[in-house]
Amino acid sequence: MEVQKTALYNYHKNLGAKFVPFAGYEMPIQYKDGIVKEHISTRTHAGFFDVSHMGQFFLEGDETLIESLEKIIPADLKNLKINHSKYSFLLNNEGGIIDDLIITRTEKGFCIILNAACKENDIKQISQFLKKHHKHLLNNNLSLIALQGPKSVEILEKLIPGVANLKFMTGNNFDYEGENLYVTRSGYTGEDGFEISISNTKVEKLIDYLISNEVKPIGLGARDTLRLEAGLCLYGHDLNEKINPVEANLKWAIAKKRKEVGGFNGWEKIKNLLANGSEKIRVGIKPDGKVIARENTKIFSLDNNEIGFVTSGTFGPSVNAPVAMGYVKSEFSEVGTSIQLEVRGKKYGGKISELPFYKKSYVK
């Protein structure tokens, strides 16, 4: 498959981006300032992220659309209000996570934001449950820009009046340059911020404005350190088709009503896990020293039994220490439990930690 580029590719190039292949796209991993400065400027001012490689999947239909989607998504879509969003997932028959996603109720149906690497398969999986009269479209004419950081609201409100009134995980339509924009108050960094769905033809103009307000471009490198500090999962690393939401410590994302009534893929298995707990579970991990426990680092108990593995690990610039997430046997999952991490053949001490590592500041 040919490598794809987002509408902002040349713009990133002019900003001095270093590119890497990611999910079939050429994406900026960092810009001139480097990952740590990009990370800090997002936490202290604001940064923008081109996340146009993610799928913006629109669905239209009547009440039966909700029934169809609820077979594969364990959110309470019936009671989801228009312009409200939920974090959820697509589940397979074993309750494994096909993808994690954000679903928003629109006037005509739903919009689902899908991970770039998964979007083609996701649409196949969702389509199995759709009726002939349900319409769907993966809109590649739209870019998606995340604006994240404490100054985001002040900066975006000047350009698009009204966005300041949005609460966390809600959205609305706004007018920009005579065109319709859909803006949600959301993101994946642990900061207040917005995600802006905007036509490919207008996106450069929006970025010009953000840059003139000292919003820095942020690459995938800092996106990863920011989301890990915020305790958020990265699909393909912390989540995959063999991991279910209970193991992933994401049972909060299954709607209360759906936990009781079920009716979605893998429900029998998940019901059982909700009642009895899972054998392994996702936890936060803090190495004691400066050593970085990266993906696939083996985790041992103090008496040297292998008890799990790391799925994401890096240096957290705001925590100013290494941070990691991984799966351990449930009996070792209590916060404060001492563990050992095997890095380059040597065992280093560490502890099970609370998530997030960095406290969120969402506007509720």
Partner 1 sequence: MSEKKFSKKHEWVSLDGDVATVGITKHATEMLGDIVFVEVPDAGKAVEKEGQAAVVESTKAASDVYSPISGEITEGNKAIADDPGSVNTDPEGASWFFKLKIKDKGEYDSLMSKDEYDKFCKENPS
Which residues form the interface with partner 1 (CB under 8 A)? 29-30, 34-36, 221, 225, 290-292, 294, 314-315, 317, 322, 344
Q: How far is the CB of 223 from partner 1 (least distance, A)?
A: 12
* Phi, psi (degrees; rounded to nearest 5) at 354: -65, 150
C-beta closer to partner 1: residue 148 or 225: 225
Q: How far is CA 137 from the centre of its chain?
A: 21
Q: How far is the CB of 315 from partner 1 (least distance, A)?
A: 4
C-beta closer to partner 1: residue 209 or 309: 309
Query: How is residue 298 annotated by DSSP?
Result: E
Q: How far is the CB of 240 from partner 1 (least distance, A)?
A: 22
Q: How far apart are CA 146 and CA 21, in angstroms?
A: 20
C-beta closer to partner 1: residue 196 or 292: 292
Q: How far is the CB of 294 from partner 1 (least distance, A)?
A: 7
Q: How far is the CB of 309 from partner 1 (least distance, A)?
A: 17
Cis ω for the linkage preceding 356 (within 30 of 0): yes
C-beta closer to partner 1: residue 30 or 249: 30
C-beta closer to partner 1: residue 183 or 220: 220
C-beta closer to partner 1: residue 251 or 347: 347
Q: How far is the CB of 359 from partner 1 (least distance, A)?
A: 21
Q: At 134, which amino acid appears?
A: H
C-beta closer to partner 1: residue 197 or 314: 314
C-beta closer to partner 1: residue 30 or 337: 30
Which contacts of 301-307 are long-range, i.e. CB under 8 A and separated by 24 or more positions? 301/332, 301/339, 301/340, 302/338, 302/339, 302/340, 304/340, 304/347, 307/332, 307/339
Q: How far apart are CA 90 and CA 325, in angstroms?
A: 22
Task: Give the largest CA-CA distance in the chain.
Answer: 66
Whole-angstrom CA distances from 158 to 164, 209, 212, 275 are 10, 10, 12, 49
Q: How far is the CB of 338 from partner 1 (least distance, A)?
A: 21
Selection from 110, 104, 102 nearest residue 61 by Cα:
110
Q: Are the C-beta atoms of residues 49 and 225 closer than 8 Å to each other?
A: no
Q: How far apart are CA 199 and CA 144, in angstroms?
A: 9
In this structure, are strands 109-114 and 321-329 parallel, antiparallel, or unpaired? unpaired
Q: How far is the CB of 146 from partner 1 (least distance, A)?
A: 19
C-alpha angle 69/74/79, rounded to 5°?
75
Q: Around Cβ 250, how many Cβ atoms within 10 Å?
A: 20
